[in-house]
Amino acid sequence: MQPYLDSLIAYALREGLIAEDDRIWAQNRLLDFLGEDACAPAQTPLTEDIEEILKGLEDFAAAKGLITDTTASRDRFDAQLMGVLTPRPSEVRRTFREAYQNAPEQATDFFYRFCRSTGYIRAARIARDVRWKYDSEYGEIDITINLSKPEKDPRDVAAALHAPQVSYPKCMLCEENEGYAGRIDHPGRSNHRILPVTIAGAPWYWQYSPYTYYNEHCIVFNSQHTPMCVDGRVFGKLFDFLDAFPHYFIGSNAGLPIVGGSILSHEHFQGGRYVFAMETAPVEETFSFDGFADVEAGIVKWPLSVIRLRGANRERVTLLAQKLLTAWAAYTDESVQIFAETNGEPHNTVTPIARRKDGKYELDIVLRNNLTTEEHPLGLFHPHEPYHHIKKENIGLIEVLGLAVLPSRLKAELGRIRELFLAGADLRADEMTAKHADWIDELRARGAIRAETVDEDLRREVGAVFAQVLACCGVFKRDPEGRAAFRRFLSSAGGTCKS
């Protein structure tokens, strides 16, 4: 234990989590946490690798019976271990405010590094994700196979069945997660810190995601446990965050099932410092709206149906966005299977994304609809069945922007496809690859996969499937009928086509 303990204290000093005056205090706090009464004199640190340090201490705790030897138990343990060394929320907020006085970028740089240093952002796990770019007709789309989030251990699942039911915190986003030790069915957040921000005159918080999908991936959430609500007020809320952090983008998942995010029970947004393909996609058709000569508007060249607004005055952009949202919420066009509601259930909503560019407020409004049909029971504007072998899950904000978050199973499946393809074997005879057989046959038939370039070909074609998945989610298809229907909607909302 001793070499790892010394290495952890040296790491905390190096990362600025503690000062030299805190060394003995930190050592004694850690000894108490580990159930030890004493330690030997400090030795030369064994390693600077925080993952190696934490694993050494986890192994010690598992051998001593302090924790169960499962990933979830180890995760709670190392969060608590780092929590011993993590400064109090008041200290973190004070340092953040001081940095913010110099520049918002300096403040977020501090907080992002801090969250990585404390281990709350699990950088080593995130590095395991498989990533590449797909050069689509819409721009370079990001493809990721998500390997960073640990899968549930059957021992933890069994233990959770017999554990007392606890509703604290109410969800993964609630403010009560800050410093929470965790339990069998809730991750440890001892090293978690959140920052206050005012949104629409009310107290909110923001934090970084522990499993960041892109640079400085942050989550902005209501201080109250209140459901997602994407109404006319959402645009002003997004702009409030942008005014505080103009170097970030910010967006909201839709507020309805199927087209919404994974947590609909707590109002929240997602943002960060990253340029997605949708941001660089051009406006291919411009529109004007009476009374809004100062706001640019147009249809974005993107597989989903996106309206882009730009203007120097945030209130003016907000007013036009509200006008469009109101029109869309009530809009029906049976010719393209768009129904505002069926049997009293609303279907139309939006995924809004806001950013500041060149001194203007830019707002992308992605039109969404969660109608289900007999042919498409998971959603008409949802990944269709022929693409489920690659992506079956809902398409939320991050993927709308052009970043595929693909299931971890694909890493092994693509590896097995490669192996069987090179061997000339039957993919249908293998349980792991049978679901992909029709796809590979189609690629082979059009010469899109060859032995000498099989890895490159598979990645390219996975990207092509994801582009098709995004097209499935577009309420107005990019064919002549769909384009005409898109124009009809904008016309119904008072728009006039300019180009």
pLDDT computed for residue 263 by the predictor: 84
**292 neighbors 317 (Cβ within 8 angstroms):** no
The answer to whether 269 touches 355, Cβ cutoff 8 Å, is no
Distances (CA, A) of 2 to 18, 27, 64, 389, 485: 19, 10, 14, 49, 69
pLDDT of residue 43: 75
Residue 310: phi and psi, rounded to 5, are -140, 135
What is the pLDDT, as a whole number, of residue 157? 53
Cα–Cα distance measured from residue 345 to residue 348, given in angstroms and rounded to the nearest whole number: 10
Taking only the tens of pLDDT, the chain with its 499 residues reads: 888 999 999 999 999 999 999 999 999 999 999 999 988 877 777 888 999 999 999 999 999 999 999 999 999 999 999 999 999 999 999 999 999 999 999 999 999 999 999 999 999 999 999 999 999 999 999 999 999 876 655 565 556 556 677 889 999 999 999 999 999 889 999 999 999 999 999 999 999 999 999 999 999 999 999 999 999 999 999 999 999 999 999 999 998 999 977 788 999 999 999 999 999 999 999 999 999 999 999 999 999 999 999 999 999 999 999 999 999 999 999 999 999 999 999 999 999 999 999 999 999 999 999 999 999 999 999 999 999 999 999 999 999 999 999 999 999 999 999 999 999 999 999 999 999 999 999 999 999 999 999 999 999 999 999 999 999 999 999 999 999 999 999 999 999 998 7
> What pLDDT does residue 151 have?
61
The pLDDT value given to residue 165: 74
Q: For residue 446, how many C-alpha atoms fall within 13 Å in the half-sphere facing its CB? A: 8
Please compute Rg for the chain using Cα positions: 25
Instruction: Kindly state the tokens that stand for 406.
Output: 């693909």
Amino acid 389: pLDDT: 97
Q: How high is the pLDDT of residue 156?
A: 57
On the CB side of 175, CA atoms within 13 Å amount to 14
Supply the pLDDT for residue 154: 58
* 396 vs 403: CA distance, rounded Å: 10
- Write down the pLDDT at residue 130: 97
pLDDT for 46: 81
366 within 8 A of 456, measured Cβ to Cβ: no
